């Protein structure tokens, strides 16, 4: 039962990143405008980088490939997003409540990623057997 819960959680976390990545791909101008409105430098290249990370990382979580590495990578990603886009402490009063909610929600997602990373099999980063699931590869 525990493994089933972990698998479902891993897939849901993968979808949490995959779907926004696909939305960025479908509407890059909106994402860039949002980033620029929040003072993010190099918004266009960072948007494309984030799109790739969301899609590839989300698919890797869903497929169970390099789960620990991807989960820790997404923890770093969320930290950056929280600091750059959900900095409620520096926003005008009408945005504080919404951005505080996003910030705290992202902390919850980070918690799930950290738990997932802690339960994932340790796997060496290697091009050998990269297509196999983590359970099918010797760490």
Give tens-digit pLDDT for 103-130.
Answer: 999 999 999 999 999 998 776 666 676 6
Q: Give the per-residue pLDDT at 133.
A: 63
Instruction: Give the pLDDT of residue 1.
Output: 83
The residue count for the chain = 139
133: left (phi over 0), alpha (psi -120 to 50) or beta: beta
pTM for the predicted model, two decimal places: 0.87
- Residue indicated by tokens 């897939």: 11
User: What is the rounded CA–CA span in Å between residue 123 and residue 68?
Assistant: 8
């Amino acid at each position: 039962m525990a493994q089933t819960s972990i698998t479902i959680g891993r897939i849901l976390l993968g979808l949490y990143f995959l779907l926004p990545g696909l939305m960025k791909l479908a509407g890059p101008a909106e994402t860039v405008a949002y980033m620029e409105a929040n003072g993010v430098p190099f918004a266009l290249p960072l948007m494309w980088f984030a799109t790739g990370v969301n899609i590839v990382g989300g698919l890797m979580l869903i497929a169970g490939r390099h789960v620990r590495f991807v989960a820790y990578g997404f923890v770093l990603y969320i930290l950056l997003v929280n600091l750059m886009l959900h900095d409620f402490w520096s926003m005008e009063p009408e945005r504080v409540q919404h951005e505080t909610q996003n910030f705290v929600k992202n902390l919850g997602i980070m918690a799930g990623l950290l738990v997932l990373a802690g339960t994932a099999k340790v796997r060496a980063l290697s091009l050998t057997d990269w297509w196999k699931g983590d359970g099918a590869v010797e760490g």
